[in-house]
Amino acid sequence: MTEKPDLNLEVDSGNFSYPEDYAFDAGYGLNEETIKYISGVKNDPDWIREFRLNALNVFRSKPNPTHWATKDLENIHFEKIRYYLSKGQTPKRSWDEVPDDVKRTFERLGIPEKERKYLAGVEAQFDSEAAYSNVKAALSDQGVIFVGSTEGLQKYPEIFRPWFGKVIPTGDNKYSALNSAVFSGGSFIYVPKGVKVRHPLQAYFRINAENFGQFERTLIIADEGAELTYMEGCTAPKFETATLHSAVVELVALKGAKIQYITVQNWSANVFNLVTKRGLAMEEAEIKWIDCNIGSRLTMKYPGVILKGRKARGEVLSIALANNGQHQDTGAKMIHAADETTSTITAKSISVGSGRSSYRGLVYIPKHLKGCKNNTECDALLINTDSRTDTYPAITVRGQGNSVQHEASVSKVSAEQIFYMQQRGLTEAQAMSMSVNGFVNDLVAQFPMEYSVELKRLIDLEMEGSVG
Amino acid sequence: MNTLEIRNLHARIEEREILKGLSLTIPQGEVHALMGPNGSGKSTLAKVIAGHPDYEVTAGEVLLNGENVLDMEPDQRARKGLFLAFQYPSEIHGVSIANFIRAALQARLPEGQEIDAVEYYKKLYSKMAMLEMDKSFTSRAVNDGFSGGEKKRNEILQMAMLEPTYAILDETDSGLDIDALRIVSQGVNKLRGPGLGALVITHYQRLLDHIIPDVVHVMVQGRIVRTGGRELALTLEDRGYDWIIKESAESAEAATV
């Protein structure tokens, strides 16, 4: 872990770097001046300015959590990072400047031309005006608010402010504090009482937004009885010049509301992806996280649900694939805080080559509660002999009348199984892909169609390099 | 030239030699039986022909229509027309039989060519009817939680779909009750014809009541010690393997004298 060389975190020398001019640049390092610069550019209201400055102090006072997490975190040099960069609305990158291997990957994933340019940063926004206008009309008819976080806090403070930073307080962890200090980008969504949004919402649809910020901040509120599905990310690799990504996502499901939050991310191998995601589920509300992580140097992400109201339900479905040199440290947190609350965690991880995947789970049911249930299942698949997996479940259940089930398995793709498939005519790589796809199949079936198809292709691509 | 020919094959696993100069020829269109006591190397022969990575071939050739396949990957051999019905087929979680066979057929097509889904299912369902299999069977994950009989029927279904030129059936009768044995044997008999050469490996003669072999070979200690007609299998049933082991030991002794 520590033997890895320090990453050079300068923007112009990353894995996929492009010379660029930025209209706004907060410079290297992080201090009060950086925060003031960001607040100035974004025209923050006073309470956000104070929120950011306070968060900076919290960030400084907290150590890196290396007493339980990997020491690789020490290789992040906070003084070498630029915390706010904005191109404005005029992209300077041309398609010709995009590296050939990136173009090839896009092609093989079958991503449409328009989308490719957007993903590679050639176009500032995805040209989905036609698709978007229908969605937008339907949404505004229903009174749904769907804007960037900056616009949200400025235009709708009466809804935004009561919940912002309440599900994930600034001091939750060092990286939530960092995000709270320098956040930009991300979405703000409010779904009014009883409104059921039929189509999944995607950041794509938001025009003129800083979609994929380094420090994006998303707040989603589903009012009583409302329902919504949100999808973030895409299966195409994100070619980022910045190497530290630290997002915060807060979900609030009021009485009887349902929120489903789907993430499929494929990071380039130089990225530290340290994300805090949590939802608050009130009475009879339901929050479901579907989280798929591929790529990155280190991902630490444990989507959680605080089950605050009676009969609230929480679910996490997680798939992680760690390839050579990568560490996927993922899992889930379920905090039961009311009677008859139920939670389910299903986590599957795949370790390829020298990849390492860790499952970290926390389930907490205090003594005074009755009728709570948790079911946890985590399965790991190891592809090569030097692949690694570890499981760190922390289950605290007190009191009587609460039930917890925990099942964990580790399996290897056996040589016999590969031989069997090869004997039917599949190449070794095809056989590997089929095993891996079969392993995650029951989870992938719960993804929206287009995601599951892309995910399958992505696994095929990842497995091609694993045999030799 | 249209034969599966094994010439003087030597193979070992780790340091132990299992095949000790085995020779055998199966012409296309014929069904040969391979019998022998436990531990004589029958299953090893099947795996070595198919290219199992645990075994090292130290001498000899395996010629498929004249072409030596020993340097080929297992999947190349399969695409050349070689099929092995496994004694213990592997489970593949999360992959349905329909998708598995389809992928296997797809792997045989040139790049850019796609299997016609309608034709595929038509063929699949007709082969399943032949093997008295329920249609719902193909949506189950490959061998996952299958009974012994279901696993073997699944092997024969795959064989019927992939239409090999040479097939090796490794102890296909093991673990089958009499009904399953009948169905599996009927399946194999329906696939018999001028296009298929088959090697049926079995410990017991009872399978050969259902699949009548053209030729019977007896294998002892890594070699073929006797080859004959169907009556050889019947003799083995009456007298067991002891006499043949003894004879072959004597003849080996005689050879060294």
pTM reported for the whole predicted model: 0.82
Q: Minimal Cα–Cα distance from B73 to chain A, Å?
A: 8
Domain ranges of chain B: 3-88+164-256
Q: Please report the sign of the dihedral spanned by the C-alpha atoms of residue B219, residue B225, residue B228, residue B233.
A: negative
Task: Tell me whether A434 touches chain B (CB under 8 Å).
Answer: yes
CB atoms under 10 Å from CB of A465, counted, come to 12
pLDDT at A86: 67
φ/ψ region of A66 (left if φ > 0, alpha if ψ in -120 to 50, else beta) reads alpha
B78–A424 C-beta distance less than 8 A? yes
Q: Minimal Cα–Cα distance from A411 to chain B, Å?
A: 11
Residues of B in contact with A426 (CB under 8 A): 75, 103-104, 107
Window 404-423 of A, Cβ < 8 Å to B = 414-417, 419-423
Of all residues in chain A, the one with the smallest CA distance to B140 is A438
Three-state DSSP at A152 gives helix
Window 141-180 of B, Cβ < 8 Å to A = 141, 158, 162
Best of B92, B154, B165, B168 to disrupt the A interface (most A CBs within 10 Å) is B92
Q: Minimal Cα–Cα distance from A317 to chain B, Å?
A: 17
Q: Minimal Cα–Cα distance from A351 to chain B, Å?
A: 17
Nearest to B104 among A425, A435, A437 (CB): A425
DSSP A64-82: P-TTTS-GGGGG--GGG-B
CA distance B51 to B136: 33
Task: Tell me whether B13 touches chain A (CB under 8 Å).
Answer: no
Residue A293 pairs in a beta bridge with A265, A320
A426–B90 C-beta distance less than 8 A? no
CA distance A283 to B1: 77
Residues of A in contact with B93 (CB under 8 A): 438-439, 441
Residues of A in contact with B101 (CB under 8 A): 424
Number of H helices, E strands in chain B: 9, 10
pLDDT at A239: 53
Of all residues in chain A, the one with the smallest CA distance to B109 is A425
DSSP A387-436: -EEEEEEEEEE-SSS-EEEEEEEEEE--HHHHHHHHHTT--HHHHHHHHH
pLDDT tens digits, residue range A116-158?
A: 665 555 444 443 444 455 567 778 889 999 888 888 999 999 9
Of all residues in chain B, the one with the smallest CA distance to A417 is B90
A438–B74 C-beta distance less than 8 A? no
Q: Minimal Cα–Cα distance from B212 to chain A, Å?
A: 26
pLDDT tens digits, residue range B213-247?
A: 999 999 999 999 999 999 999 898 888 888 888 88
CB atoms under 10 Å from CB of A375, counted, come to 17
Residue A253 DSSP code: E
pLDDT tens digits, residue range A22-44?
A: 667 777 889 999 999 999 988 99
Residue of A152, A201, A170 whose CA lies nearest to A58: A170
CA distance B133 to A335: 48
pLDDT at A132: 52
Residues of A in contact with B91 (CB under 8 A): 417
Best of B13, B93, B115, B156 to disrupt the A interface (most A CBs within 10 Å) is B93
A64 close to A298: Cβ distance less than 8 angstroms: no
Residue of A280, A276, A228, A289 whose CA lies nearest to A253: A280
B10 burial (CB, 10 Å; 0-12 / 13-18 / 19+) is: middle
Q: Minimal Cα–Cα distance from B159 to chain A, Å?
A: 9
- Predicted ipTM? 0.96
Of all residues in chain A, the one with the smallest CA distance to B54 is A415
pLDDT at A17: 35
**CATH top-level class for B3-88+164-256?**
alpha beta
Q: Minimal Cα–Cα distance from B249 to chain A, Å?
A: 34
pLDDT tens digits, residue range A218-272?
A: 999 999 999 999 988 655 555 555 588 899 999 999 999 999 999 888 887 888 9
Task: Tell me whether B78 touches chain A (CB under 8 Å).
Answer: yes
pLDDT at A264: 83
B94–A442 C-beta distance less than 8 A? yes
Best of A108, A350, A421 to disrupt the B interface (most B CBs within 10 Å) is A421
pLDDT at A91: 42
Three-state DSSP at A232 gives strand
Of all residues in chain A, the one with the smallest CA distance to B87 is A420
B83–A423 C-beta distance less than 8 A? yes
pLDDT at A16: 37
CA distance B69 to B9: 13
pLDDT along chain A (468 residues), means of 10: 38 36 74 93 94 97 92 89 66 60 62 59 43 67 90 95 97 97 91 92 52 78 96 61 84 98 84 95 97 91 98 96 94 97 96 93 94 94 88 84 89 91 95 92 80 77 70
B53–A430 C-beta distance less than 8 A? no
Residue B11 pairs in a beta bridge with B19, B57
CA distance A453 to A468: 26
A261 burial (CB, 10 Å; 0-12 / 13-18 / 19+) is: buried
